[in-house]
């Protein structure tokens, strides 16, 4: 069997998508990839606890610790290199990756976004803002998208999507929960399919 693809999962918050990836791995549904590093942009987030539970190496790289964005990006790149990461998966990571990282891992950085891209993506479209915008637009359906990351927010080629209905009476919270349930299925499946091809 070929060697498992080495994944870094980048987080900034709760890490439920991280958990879905780790669960998929332990239950044999993600046999071709392993998480070797969980890197957070913030200390103290629950995603780091989840990683520790699975005995996965963690790193916290906070922007405030660096004098410039270049130094911050270089520190992230160094962590990825030290862990010999093949593919980077953003899972609720709220900072923009700099050009040095995008160039180094061109075509090998994935993200999950809680809407049907290209709609409802771009700067400021994260968390409840996405779901509020979907509701305000009167959309009949929403969902989630896994895409390749490029220099622009939520912009690279979409690899897969899952749809959910928008129900009358939905608020951002109920819609987010319905979408998140699909994210947890879609992301591990998309990562497996992506890793089969590289
Ligand atoms: C998810 O909705 C994901 O689509 C978005 O950020 C959220 C992260 O949630 N990019 P979690 O930290 O994985 O629970």
% the chain with pLDDT above 70: 99
Q: Does the pLDDT value for residue 115 go beyond 80?
A: yes
What's the rounded mean pLDDT across residues 152-168?
Answer: 97
Mutate to test the pocket of ligand 1, among 183, 184, 190 (most ligand atoms within 8 A of CB): 183
CATH superfamily assigned to domain 5-196? Formyl transferase, N-terminal domain (3.40.50.170)
pLDDT per position as a tens digit, 6-59? 999 999 999 999 999 999 999 999 999 999 999 999 999 999 999 999 999 999
The more confidently predicted of residues 1 and 159 is 159
Closest residue by CA, ligand 1 atom 1: 92
pLDDT, position 60: 98
Dist CA 123 CA 195 (whole Å): 28
pLDDT, position 2: 81
What's the rounded mean pLDDT across residues 82-93?
Answer: 98
Backbone torsions φ then ψ of 3, nearest 5 degrees: -65, 145
| Å from CA of 16 to ligand 1 middle | 7
Q: Looking at the CA of residue 180, tell me the nearest atom of ligand 1.
A: 2
pLDDT, position 1: 63
What does the domain layout of the chain look like in residue ranges?
Answer: 5-196
pLDDT, position 7: 98
- Read off the pLDDT band of 134 (50, 70, 90): very high
| Å from CA of 91 to ligand 1 middle | 6
Please list every protein residue whose CB sits less than 6 Å from any atom of ligand 1: 13-17, 91-92, 112-114, 144, 180, 183
- Asked if 155 is an active-site residue, the reply is no
What's the rounded mean pLDDT across residues 149-158?
Answer: 95
Three-state helix/strand/coil letters over the chain: CCCCEEEEEEECCCCHHHHHHHHHHHCCCCCCEEEEEEEECCCCCHHHHHHHHCCCCEEECCHHHCCCHHHHHHHHHHHHHHCCCCEEEECCCCCCCCHHHHHHCCCCEEEEECCCCCCCCCCCCCCHHHHHHHHHCCCCEEEEEEEECCCCCCCCCEEEEEEEECCCCCCHHHHHHHHHHHHHHHHHHHHHHHHHHC
């Amino acid at each position: 069997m070929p060697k498992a693809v080495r994944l870094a999962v980048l987080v900034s918050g709760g890490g439920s998508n991280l958990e879905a990836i780790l669960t998929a791995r332990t239950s044999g549904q993600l046999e071709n990839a392993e998480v070797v590093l969980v890197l957070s942009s913030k200390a103290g987030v629950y995603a780091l606890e989840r990683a520790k539970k699975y005995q996965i190496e963690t790193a916290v790289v906070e922007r405030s610790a660096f004098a410039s964005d270049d130094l911050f990006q270089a520190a992230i790149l160094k962590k990825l290199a030290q862990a010999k990461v093949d593919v980077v998966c953003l899972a609720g990571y709220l900072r923009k990756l700099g050009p040095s990282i995008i160039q180094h891992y061109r075509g090998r950085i994935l993200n999950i976004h809680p809407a049907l891209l290209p709609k409802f993506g771009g700067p400021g479209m994260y968390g409840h803002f996405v779901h509020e915008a979907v509701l305000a637009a009167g959309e009949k359906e929403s969902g989630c998208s896994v895409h390749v990351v490029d220099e622009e927010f939520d912009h690279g080629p979409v690899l897969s999507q899952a749809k959910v209905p928008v129900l009358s009476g939905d608020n951002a919270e109920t819609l987010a929960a319905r979408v998140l349930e699909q994210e947890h299925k879609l992301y591990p499946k998309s990562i497996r399919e992506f890793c089969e091809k590289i």
